[in-house]
Amino acid sequence: MQCTLLGTGTSHGIPVIGCSCSCCVSADPRDNRNRTSALFECDAEDGAESACFVIDTGPEFRIQAIKFGITHLDAVFITHDHADHLHGIDDLRVFSHHKDKTPDCGLPLYANPSVLTNIQIRFPYIFKEIKIGGGKPQLYLRDITEQPVQIGPMTVTAVPLIHGNACTSGYLVSHIASDSRIHSIAYLTDCKNIPDSSFDLLARHGGIIDHLVIDALRTRPHGTHLSFREALDCAARIGAVHTWLIHICHDMSHEQIIRHVANLCQQEESLRCLTEGGRTVAPSYDGLILKSI
């Protein structure tokens, strides 16, 4: 199983429109961040196509799909209905039209109930009968909170998160690995708080969490996102082998974040576990591939 981070930036993306700060004009490609999205893949048996799904379809989804060679999808998972995570939904047309015709007809899209309702309100043309010739995605909406979803060998479990006043969905993606144990990648973007019940869920069902991808906007506190320090405190509690910060703004460059995080882990005893015993913590970047054995 592997995860490719298609985008790792905040809602503005980096570079930010009209900004000439050192991060936005940086020549380091890791400082060029599209809106946050991820691709999960796992080899299927008997030579079939690999199982494949994305988390979130932001404004750059078409560009991301072309850049990273996405040719089919088995499902889509949406964390929440903010524009930077949803407004590429129309570009699911090509993937939904490739799906076999079934009673449900189309590409399954999973989210929590409030997000599913808002999708129907904000994109009504998708769900209405239209005249012949009107192109639209063929989607059927599914409640991710009812039970875990099986996509090929991968089990996807919703992880409830708090993002300001909104309830968002992180995702725990698990599989039985080559060592016959459960290995997982936890993808927890866009949150300010993680409920105790969600920490418990990760501990109960995650097995060995090879990678944790977690919201970390900047050093300064924010009302709806984790700061770097808050994200590291959560990561220390979760105990993944590798921790990756995501949804990053343009306050600091990739290299500056590396140094800042290393200093925090060195200075704070409660964070030293993140860099001991083979564990690592670092900022993510667009195109980063995370492998779970």
Rg of the chain, C-alpha, whole Å: 19
Predicted pLDDT at 132: 62
Encode 186-234 in three state secondary structure: EEECCCCECCHHHHHHHHHHCCEEEEEEEECCCCCCCCCCCCHHHHHHH
Ramachandran category for residue 109: left, alpha or beta (phi over 0 → left; psi -120 to 50 → alpha): beta
Q: Are 206 and 174 in contact (CB under 8 A)?
A: yes
- 93 SS3 class: helix
Is residue 245 within a helix (H) or strand (E), and if so which, with residue range?
strand 242-246
Predicted pLDDT at 190: 95
Q: Are 215 and 246 in contact (CB under 8 A)?
A: yes
Predicted pLDDT at 128: 86
Dump the DSSP string for 135-148: ----EEEEETTSS-
Is residue 228 within a helix (H) or strand (E), and if so which, with residue range?
helix 228-238
Is residue 117 within a helix (H) or strand (E), and if so which, with residue range?
helix 113-122
Closest C-alpha to 36, from 247, 251, 228, 227:
247
Predicted pLDDT at 88: 97
- 56 SS3 class: coil
Cβ–Cβ contacts within 10 Å for residue 136, how many?
17
CA atoms of 73 and 148, how far apart (whole Å): 18
Provide the β-strand partners of residue 53. Answer: 40, 75
Each residue's pLDDT expressed in tens, for the chain with a length of 293 residues: 999 999 999 999 999 999 999 999 999 999 999 999 999 999 876 666 689 999 999 999 999 999 999 999 999 999 999 999 999 999 999 998 765 545 456 899 999 999 999 999 999 999 887 766 558 899 999 999 999 999 999 999 999 999 999 899 999 999 998 889 999 999 999 999 999 999 999 999 999 999 999 999 999 999 999 999 999 999 999 999 999 999 999 999 999 999 999 999 999 999 999 999 999 999 999 999 999 97
CA atoms of 68 and 77, how far apart (whole Å): 18
228-238 and 196-205 helices cross at what angle (nearest 10)?
40
Closest C-alpha to 70, from 98, 111, 44, 47:
98
Ramachandran category for residue 217: left, alpha or beta (phi over 0 → left; psi -120 to 50 → alpha): alpha
Provide the β-strand partners of residue 52. Answer: 41
CA atoms of 242 and 210, how far apart (whole Å): 6
